[in-house]
Copies of this chain bind each other. A is one copy, B any other.
Amino acid sequence: MFEPVRPARAYELIVEQIETAIYDGTLAPGDRLPSERALMTQFSVSRSTIREALRVLQSDGRVQSRPGDPNGPVVLPFSTAGLHKSMSSLVRADTVGLAELLQYRIMTEGCANQLAAQFRTDAQLAAMQEALATMQASVSSGHDTFARADMAFHDLIAEAAGNKLLQVSNEVVRTVVLQLIERKITQAEDRPAQMLDSCRRHALVLDAVRQQDPARACTLARRHIFEYYAPYLDEAELPRLLILMDAPPDGA
């Protein structure tokens, strides 16, 4: 009949007020909050309470304060840091595993390629071409340049897809996956062969994007991710990914 109540903490109310001010634009990135001593009069609470609220906002990446700064805490622009943090924490805690990450990535990256193939501009296509060239050129030189160019390629795809959510989620998942298998992948003895193979596959995908063939771009991208990362998975985990390959959504 009645609902349980959760007594309101003062600092939580302050966090809420400042958060909504950020959401509705009253506080834009780059703006400055009043100093802690000014805030305590505005909210009529003590400084400890203000500080606890600021700590929460800071840990959420909304504001940042610097000792001695006479301008007060600064409102930060949105960043994906929070997403990265919470996702890698889930990975560290074994709540989500590599298979789950890859399953998700196969879906989103596939969709991204599909959209990119449809809506890419010529300029975007040229940029992708360039990123691929950098990848090919750095096969022999270094793992680092290659990885960066690889990252850039996928970023360009996501950008061409024209969906910010897709872009961000792709970027986050991709980064977390790389973190997870970074050691294994850099130490692989057949690393150069892997890189060459990766280039070949990227070229195939890029070709589909160039010819504006969404279905093929999607299928190739999915298959590429699957085959590239499959060695790092257990046998038992493969079916959950395979169903995304030859079954739909490419309707084979």
Contact = CB atoms under 8 A, between A and B. Distances in A.
A13 interface: no
A193 interface: no
Contact of A85 (B48, B86, B114, B173): B86
Interface string A204-241: 00000000001100110000000000000000000010
A56 to B, nearest CB: 4
A181 interface: no
A103 B250 contact: no
Contact of A248 (B51, B78, B101, B114): B114
Report whether over half of chain A's contact residues are helix, strand or loop; otherwise say mixed.
Answer: helix
Contact of A11 (B55, B101, B219, B248): B55
Interface of A: 7, 11, 22-23, 48, 51-52, 55-56, 58-60, 67, 78, 80, 82-83, 85-87, 89-96, 100-101, 103-104, 107-108, 110-111, 114-115, 118-119, 162-166, 168-169, 173, 214-215, 218-219, 240, 243-244, 247-252
